[in-house]
Chain A
Amino acid sequence: MEDLAKAVDPRARFKRRTVVDSALLPWTRSDTLLIAGLLVAAAMTRFISLGSPSVFVFDERSVVEGGARIILGGGQFLSTHPPFPAEMIALSIRAFGDDPLSWRWLSASLGTALIGITYLLGRRMFASRLVGGLAALFVICDGLYLVDSRLALWEIFFFTFSAIAYLMLFRFAYSVDPFARRRTLTVMGFALGFALASKLGIPFITLLLMTACVAFLVLKRPGTPGASDAQQREARNMELYGALALIWGLSTIIFIVVFFPNYWFGWWHGLEDHVAFYFGEYRFQQKLQHSIHLSSTSPWWSWPFLLHPIIYYPQGEAVTTAIAAARSIRSIGNPILWWGALASIVVVTRQAITRKSMERGFLVLAYAIYLTIWIPFPRYEFIYYYMPSLYFGFMALALSLSDCWSGATRRWEEVALLIPFCPVLVLGLGITVGTMTIVVLAVAYLALTRRGGPKAGRMVCVLYVAATLILFVYFIPIWFALPLTPQQFGARMWLKGPGVADWR
């Protein structure tokens, strides 16, 4: 129990972190160089050839035409998702003109910022530049995060503002300065507000998760030395009220304020109309429960295994033709990262229990909540609903690989992390070459384990980074809509059915 108390004692953590932060992990030139390098790499992948395709891709039509252009034309905003992304795109259209680059540069900017935020989050959560750097690299090299950062869609707005909220949560956890805590929660309130204002539904889960975590930290915070129990209880209750009031007050204000165009143009006359709008939206969503299941939909359990991506562009297209090179955008993630994230979540779950680690527990909790929330949903679902969970999967993978590098992992954990290479190698290289490569890797790993030390773990880490980069380059044509011959296209469609396991 004492260990548990230490594990959840924020002040104890703060002290430990203070030592680590100030003595071992101050902000150094390495941090500056590393984050600058990551941001440059992210910007290159997000901004290059951003105007292509020059037509609406996937839900861009809803965001731009059903959102931004409606607002610019003084129409009533009635899209399912809140209007903040559409408003930003409307401003961009007003400033720079109505073209694909103008619709998408905001997503690309937020997608780039997300990389920096991920580095800061990983570094802060685990006092490790390696964790932060790897997590940021994984977000750069993943197909879904890349595609969503290159299109005028809602998701990247939500992901980026949510990531800011996560970062603020861990700043709050390690801070004992009341002024700093208050500033941190203010930023969190704004970030959660903009997340709520960007997408319907799932940001509310983020708000609840952050609220629960902040409440947990406040209630577990040790009292002031010398104060009576009653004083301490009163101070804690006051802090709890303050934290919740600040977060919910700010985030709700922002959520309401982003709907101002509907009031400004006279479509809504009061808050009752806003409420009525959501009753209508509820009825609309209920209708979707009975609608047909499109070929792009997939059940929640299939997402972690990357079984059924969506064709973003051209919509409805599933063709590789003899008469034209195929150009398409598909929501295929980087397979080694997706399957590695799944393996690492298993590893980190066990570590969270055995080590009683708050940070690891948070990773597992957030991953599980964002995934299981979709289980009771009766309407059709898409693979990109998994992305909030995946973010924590990437963080867990970065943490596991960092442990591998430092020799802090057990053998079974390293083996678990190596398992995802089997499907990657077999599907990517074919059964013969793939199996031979697996055998070679297994022999190399066993040889390194006999030598002792962290070499075997480092091999796992190096393999992941290498595979991530190789697969990133390999799948770029699928994410950038570059032309592929039928053979090249077919080679990248690793799963071809039957059933839900189909990438085509």
Chain B
Amino acid sequence: MVVNISLRRAFSRLILAVTLVCGPTLAYGSELHADENLLGNDNLTDGTDVPNGWQIISRLPRNPPQAAQTFVWTHSPPAPGELQLNNRTFNSVKWDHPIELERGWYSLTGEMRASGIEPIYGAAILGVEVTSSKFGLAFPDTRPESDWRKGTLYLKVGSAAKQIDVVCALDGRGTVACRNISLVRISGPPTTGGRVIDVDTVRRAELKPIFRKAKGHMWTLFSTLLLLAAIAISGWIALGPSDSQ
């Protein structure tokens, strides 16, 4: 009997522990839809002229034939769609998908193939653009010529919703293609390592150079305001009608 009671207690505790641990986790997980690609259009197959959600951007003006040659979208299901960029002249072009991210952690994965990228001035990037800085996925190698390579980048988004741009970009001459691009929300920091971009830090760094730590005294603020108020009031009084008026 004593054994039974102990077993029952132990079993109850086990149930309680499992409920406490798994319940919120499952509920949280169901809210997150952890596997949902926030970019939508998973295989880059939906859209009319360009894939839904994506836009094309070029630094230099392109006339229509040049633009059609520069930006190529191939999509023939069931093969995944591809975003291609071809630069014959020196230019910066990109496929761009702006997206607003809530506070949390995100993982961006994708595949990229590049050829003819100029060694020093050129760059092929599949990644994100935060303000004016681009951060590419971490690939196992950085060769300018490559077959399909898969990479990942983790994003940490802080206090407020942040707009970033997922980009498949090409600087300089060459060709680049991107596919299977997926941005998913994850529950926390990556456990396996990998490149992490703190969006808040990037923004702060770009917003302003270093400012010194606050060293002021509150009395300086209030005394200045009092002095200014006194000046304004004295001006008001001075502008009143004089005796001669």
**Residues of A with Cβ closer than 8 Å to B?**
55-56, 61-62, 65-66, 69-70, 72-75, 78-80, 98, 178-179, 181-182, 185-186, 189, 224, 226-227, 231, 235, 238-239, 241-250, 252-253, 256-257, 263, 266-274, 276-277, 280-281, 283-284, 287, 295, 314-325, 486, 504
A78-B211, A252-B228 known; A321 vs B239 contact (CB < 8 Å): no
Assembled-state Cα–Cα distance A276/B161 (Å): 29
CB-defined contacts of A281 to chain B, threshold 8 Å: 208
Known A61-B131, A271-B220, A320-B64: A73·B212 in contact at CB below 8 Å: no
Determine if B62 is an interface residue (Cβ-Cβ < 8 Å): yes
CA A268 to CA B211, docked complex, whole Å: 11
Asked if A65 and B211 sit within 8 Å, CB to CB, the answer is no
B218 located at the interface, meaning its Cβ lies under 8 Å from any Cβ of chain A in the complex: yes
A273 shortest CB reach to chain B, Å: 4
Which A-B residue pairs are the 6 nearest by beta carbons?
Answer: A270-B216, A249-B232, A245-B235, A242-B238, A246-B235, A322-B64
With A245-B231, A245-B235, A256-B224 as given contacts, are A235 and B244 in contact (CB-CB < 8 Å)? yes
Give the nearest-CB partner of A67 in chain B: B207
B65 at the interface (CB under 8 A from A): yes
In this complex, how many residues of chain B approach chain A with their Cβ under 8 Å: the count is 61
Tell me if B79 counts as interface (CB < 8 A to partner A): no
**B residues near A271, Cβ cutoff 8 Å:** 216, 220-221, 224
Given the complex, which residues of A lie within 8 Å of B229, measured CB to CB? 249, 253
* Chain A positions within 8 Å of B63 at CB level: 320, 486
Q: Helix, strand, loop or mixed for chain B's interface?
A: mixed
Fill in one digit per residue for B63-75: 1 if any A CB lies within 8 Å of its CB, else 0.
Answer: 1110110010100
The listed residue with most A CB atoms (<10 A of its CB), out of B207, B239, B245, is: B239
Asked if A242 meets B64 with Cβ closer than 8 Å, knowing A65-B203, A280-B211, the reply is: no
Residue in A closest to B224 when the chains form the complex, CB atoms: A271
Q: With the chains together, A70 CA to B160 CA distance in Å? A: 8
CB-defined contacts of A257 to chain B, threshold 8 Å: 225
Of listed B96, B230, B238, residue having the most chain A CB within 10 A: B238
Q: Which of B57, B207, B238 contacts A78 (CB 8 A)?
A: B207
**Cα distance A257–B238 in the bound complex, in angstroms:** 25
| Other-chain contact of B216, A182, A241, A273 (Cβ < 8 Å) | A273
Identify which of B13-21, B34-42, B48-56 touches chain A.
B48-56
Asked whether A276 lies within 8 Å of B212 as measured between CB atoms, the reply is yes
With a cutoff of 8 Å between Cβ atoms, the chain A residues found around residue B55 in the complex are: 314, 317
Contact A243 B235 (CB under 8 A): yes
Q: How far is the CA of A287 from the CA of B56 in the complex (A)?
A: 31
